[in-house]
Chains A and B, each alone.
Chain A
């Protein structure tokens, strides 16, 4: 990234010294993990470019857009419909953070024993290192897990325009009603913020745009079912991560081009690792950029990740929104129908998730499942216990991993993951 961006960063109120430090580390980690991979598809150059300009070109686009009245909406959850944001000509950016920063400052406001994803998010704010956050005209929190619910109470004091969306806890008729009224309330807030009104046309177009983005991901996922897999889990995770903040139309086109190359690879049986390499499905908590800890350990050993059952992954992208309907309310109902199917562990009961994991094991020919939970994440850690037992009983090897963003337990994790890979490779 060139120095041309420093005035822009300064204008956004970033702490330039902290930001330089973060970018330096990020650059090195990216080179160590991604650029060192063998036999990467050529079209991953798009990912390299996006990452090299992650705080540069994309931010510039947001800044230019804001000058023309395109509002930026920052979000922390796949339940917030991008369609509504696009329908007011806004831009949605995912703000979830995947690296520890300014931890001492964070621990003045939040307890030490709290989800790393939440603490990292606060750290990026307090450290003044995230231009996406600083560009947001509205920051949307959502009542999902305990950590987030209470964290918004604190975040409200740190950002200008925090909007909290409520979500149901069960999936019943009441849930549909609640989500519908919350989406309509959000829509009204967006209308007010932007001075634009969502119409059937603008919402239908937005639905098409996001559906198209999802379909590009479906194509990518299907190609990963091949043995040997044509693309690594690391690169696939990154694609699922940039899904949350890249321009949707550009993203869709680029991923299709990548898939064209992957199709050719699959035809010629070309993969990033040998045929027969242990295949792993990762399932559980989302991995926000730049959290690449688990894929790095798995693919640094003799294995490949062939799918992610995660909000940053198939759980978040599965299912399209229906275009049936001639009124805004009807289309919003379609949003509700689609989004309520996301089987996040904050819902109770959550049986669909177990079925989806088993389905993904079959579809992607996985040899084993890593049940990934962030430390202190009660919903996913509790679910993992039962899911592990069911999978093992069904003859699907599974291992529970509970960790955070630090490097403290990497040695231990490496041994456990390698031992699991040895087990599923026999």
Chain B
């Protein structure tokens, strides 16, 4: 059995990737909603029997307990997945549903240092979802509006809850929705950039954005300009964690087979 599976159980979406001989065979993505375990079980039925599998993400412990699936942290998974998608990358910025991580990789692609958001969801997908809702946009339209907006507004609050109040205030003062959307994107880009700064990431790096945030063109553009390094996301950026898992378990299997 040369197929391996990687499962990334995020807080907002669940991802499954099947790989063989370093090629992606299949990618599946489902929203977690209120029954993540049911969703996970459904995804597991897509995994061929006898296949090696490794899980990561917010919900990985459940996989270990219920299905005896071994787990690794998202940091290791995203590091390996990112190097697969961008073989020379030295920085990975994972913008997920409820957390944000910045990972510095050394020359061989190993994790050398990482930062995560601490007790706060500011700078994560959650922040954007709340704000989009407040402004009356579906998520896709929200990021497109931000691309259209002009730059004269600033959001001061870091906290999602207080920032939402600030947004209401701006709307009441007649500010345009797209301008507010843009300010919100710049705000979280600054926060994420500060996190990257603590790792010493900057213009000399080659970065990859992973996680759901990779599909937000406005956010990626702001990050690129603030950090000064290329951050071109891949089509498979959101699957970086699952890809990393599939690759790691495949290579462990190869080591076992040749032992």
A residues contacting B by CB (< 8 A) are 392, 402, 408-409, 411-412, 415-416, 418-419, 422-423, 426
Whole-angstrom distance between the alpha carbons of A419 and B60 in the complex?
14
CA distance A411 to B121 in the complex (A): 14
**A418 neighbours in B (Cβ, 8 Å):** 72-73
CB distance from B123 to the nearest CB of A (A): 14
* A86 nearest CB across to chain B (Å): 44
- Please tell me if the beta carbons of B119 and A408 are within 8 angstroms of each other in the complex: yes
B window 149-185: CB within 8 A of A: none
- Residue in A408, A409, A416, A419 whose CB lies within 8 Å of B76: A419
Chain B residue with minimal CB distance to A398?
B113
Write 6 A-B pairs (CB below 8 A) sorted by A numbering: A415-B116, A419-B75, A422-B75, A422-B76, A422-B111, A423-B110
User: Which range holds the interface residue count of chain B?
Assistant: 10 to 19
Cβ contact within 8 Å between B118 and A412? yes
Shortest 6 CB-CB distances between A and B: which pairs? A419-B75, A419-B73, A422-B76, A418-B73, A423-B111, A415-B73
- For residue B74, which residue of chain A has the nearest CB? A415
Cα–Cα distance between A163 and B111 once the two chains are bound (Å): 50
Complex CA distance for A409 and B178, rounded to whole angstroms? 35
Chain B nearest CB: distance from A417 CB in Å?
9
Chain A CB within 8 A of B222 CB: no
Does B137 count as interface, using CB distance less than 8 angstroms? no
Interface residue B84 (Cβ < 8 Å from any Cβ of A)? no
Tell me which of B58, B111, B118, B119 contacts A419 (CB under 8 A): B111
Q: B99: which A residues are within 8 A, CB to CB?
A: 412
Instruction: Judge whether A412 and B73 touch: CB under 8 Å.
Output: no
Chain B contacts for A402, CB-based, 8 A: 118
Taking a contact as CB atoms under 8 Å apart, the answer to whether B110 and A419 are in contact is no
Minimum C-beta distance from A295 to chain B (A): 19
Interface residues of B (CB under 8 A from A): 58, 72-76, 99, 110-114, 116, 118-119
Nearest-Cβ distance from residue B75 to partner chain A, whole angstroms: 4
A416–B111 CB distance below 8 A: no
Alpha-carbon separation in the docked complex, A418 to B60 (Å): 13
Give the CA-CA distance A422 to B112 in the complex, in Å: 11
Kindly list chain B residues whose C-beta atoms are within 8 Å of the C-beta of A422: 72-73, 75-76, 111
The interface residues of chain A lying within 8 Å CB-to-CB of B72 are: 418, 422
- How close is B87's CB to chain A, nearest CB, in angstroms? 18
Alpha-carbon distance between A210 and B199 when the two chains are bound, in angstroms: 45
- Complex Cα distance A415/B60, Å? 11
- The answer for the CA separation of A423 and B58 in the assembled complex, in Å, is 19
Q: Taking CB as reference atom, which chain A residue is nearest B72?
A: A422
What is the CA–CA distance of A412 and B75 in the complex, to the nearest angstrom?
12
Inter-chain CA distance A408–B120, complex, in Å, is: 11
A412 with B110: CB separation less than 8 A: no
Q: In the bound complex, what is the Cα–Cα distance between A258 and B135 (angstroms)? A: 65
Whether B118 lies near A409 (C-beta < 8 A) is yes
For the complex, what is the distance from the CA of A422 to the CA of B75, rounded to whole Å?
9
- Which residues on A sit within 8 Å (CB–CB) of B75? 415, 419, 422
Measured CB to CB, the closest approach of chain A to B9, in angstroms, equals 13
Q: How far is the CA of A416 from the CA of B74 in the complex (A)?
A: 10
Contacts A412-B118, A418-B72, A419-B75 known; 5 new A-B pairs at CB < 8 A? A412-B119, A415-B116, A419-B111, A419-B114, A423-B110
- The answer to whether A416 touches B110, judged by C-beta atoms less than 8 angstroms apart, is no
Q: In the docked arrangement, what's the CA distance between A392 and B198, Å?
A: 14
B116: chain A residues within 8 A (beta carbon): 412, 415-416
Of chain B, the residue at the smallest CB distance from A406 is B119
CA gap between A416 and B72 in the complex, in Å: 11
| Closest chain B residue to A421, Cβ basis | B73
Separation in Å of the A296 CB from the closest CB of chain B? Answer: 15
Q: Which of A392, A408, A423 has the most CB of B within 10 A?
A: A423
- In this complex, what residue of A is CB-closest to B115? A416
Contact residues in B for A426 (Cβ distance below 8 Å): 110
Shortest B225–chain A CB gap in Å is 28
Q: Which residues of A contact B112 (CB under 8 A)?
A: 423
CA distance A411 to B74 in the complex (A): 13
B116 → A minimal CB distance (Å): 6
| CA–CA, A412 and B121, complex, Å | 12
Closest approach, in angstroms, between the C-beta of B243 and any C-beta of chain A?
Answer: 17
For the complex formed, measure the closest distance between the CB of A128 and the CB atoms of chain B, giving whole angstroms. 31
Bound together, the chains give a CA A422 to CA B76 distance in angstroms of 7
Q: Could you say which residues of chain B place their CB within 8 Å of the CB of A423?
A: 76, 110-112
Q: Which of A409, A411, A416, A419 has the most CB of B within 10 A?
A: A419
